[in-house]
C-alpha cells in the first residue's frame, strides 16, 4: 500500500455529535496510507483514531487537506 509522511501545520480537532473523532497537534508528523479503492489517504492520531489527510485528484496528484504539508513521498507509484 502506498504511504506518505505529512506534517500538521495547524492543530485541529474534528467532532461528530459532540464527540472528538480525531485530534492532531501542530508539527505532529503522521504516516498516511492510501486506500486505493477510494484514492484517499488516512493516518491515525495519537489515540488510534482515523484522520483524513487528502486524496489523489483527477490528474493523479496528491491533494492534501489545508492543515497538512507533504514531507515525504508524493509519487503515487512509490512502494514502501
In this prediction, residue 72 carries a pLDDT of 77
Q: What structural domains does the chain harbor?
A: 3-72 (2.30.30.40)
In this prediction, residue 71 carries a pLDDT of 94
Reading the chain (80 residues) residue by residue, the pLDDT tens digits are 499 999 999 999 999 999 999 999 999 999 999 999 999 999 999 999 999 999 999 999 999 999 999 997 655 444 43
C-alpha cell at 71: 514531507
In this prediction, residue 74 carries a pLDDT of 56
In this prediction, residue 60 carries a pLDDT of 92
- Residue closest to 14 by CA, chosen among 67, 76, 72: 67
DSSP 32-46: EEEETTTTEEEEE-T
- Residue closest to 69 by CA, chosen among 35, 24, 37, 38: 24
In this prediction, residue 55 carries a pLDDT of 97
Amino acid at each position: 500500500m502506498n504511504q506518505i509522511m505529512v506534517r500538521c501545520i495547524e492543530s485541529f480537532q474534528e467532532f461528530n455529535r459532540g464527540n472528538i473523532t480525531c485530534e492532531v497537534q501542530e508539527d505532529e508528523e503522521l504516516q498516511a496510507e492510501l486506500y486505493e479503492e477510494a484514492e484517499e489517504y488516512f493516518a491515525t492520531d495519537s489515540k488510534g483514531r482515523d484522520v483524513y489527510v487528502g486524496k489523489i485528484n483527477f490528474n493523479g496528484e496528491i491533494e492534501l487537506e489545508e492543515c497538512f504539508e507533504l514531507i515525504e513521498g508524493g509519487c503515487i507509484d512509490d512502494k514502501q
